[in-house]
Structure 1
């Protein structure tokens, strides 16, 4: 079964992450920008989805995700597994690290999504994040500045742990 990967990117880092996922999953995933014109139809096509959400400024999701959250509110995510990857910088933006994930998470919860991929906070060095619920990040935080060497292995383990069974379905 294929996974739909949805991202936004101003400087290419989230697109880089989407490309890494495509390299790992090969033909088992399709990639879309969240701002694409037929986004609602594309969101509905998949039983499993990954959203890549970068955090900008004072902890806001990328501007395309602000519109994307409105789109999410128009889709029923019941019986869909959704993982969120948050992009951020735990060094320079330690007080807002991957905050952009939280509004997307909240919108998905309201639409009955099965959120997968919660991540322990211990491996990260940050001050605070609104993307922590019940002591875990609501998805997988990635930091291309301070964790570049670990990104591919973190992605691979996270995808296997959270989407392995789905990928093996026919």
Structure 2
């Protein structure tokens, strides 16, 4: 009878000893120095700078024609930007690229003959007139209806004085 009680009592004593050993470091960790956290403050801000990137793509039969069409479209976009934002808007012309699209034969394979050339020109607009810049982005999209193929990135707004 004592042997049947001895095993469970030994297990209980072992569990109590194990719990004591494991809990001692846990109590030490809890009594360690408190962790200091640096906070932050919030305040409402208004953007005072804005940026918008316009990408114009035009097609032509050769490099010159495609690049000229893209230049004409870019001039139209520049005029709209200056009319909306005024002369103080910063206009930065970004990269230009040309790509050829080859004709396909009756089997659907590309040939060496050029079907058309695509010219892409990009313009970045930086301005402190954030409300007008937002309105400009909608006006620029309307130029797609006039045959100017353009895509916009932005507008993006920034706070320069924090």
User: Same fold, TM exceeding 0.5?
Assistant: no
Q: Scaled by the length of structure 1, what TM-score is found?
A: 0.24
Q: Scaled by the length of structure 2, what TM-score is found?
A: 0.25
**By percentage of residues, which structure has more helix?**
2
Structure possessing the higher relative contact order (Cα contacts under 8 Å, 6 or more residues apart): 2
**By percentage of residues, which structure has more strand?**
2
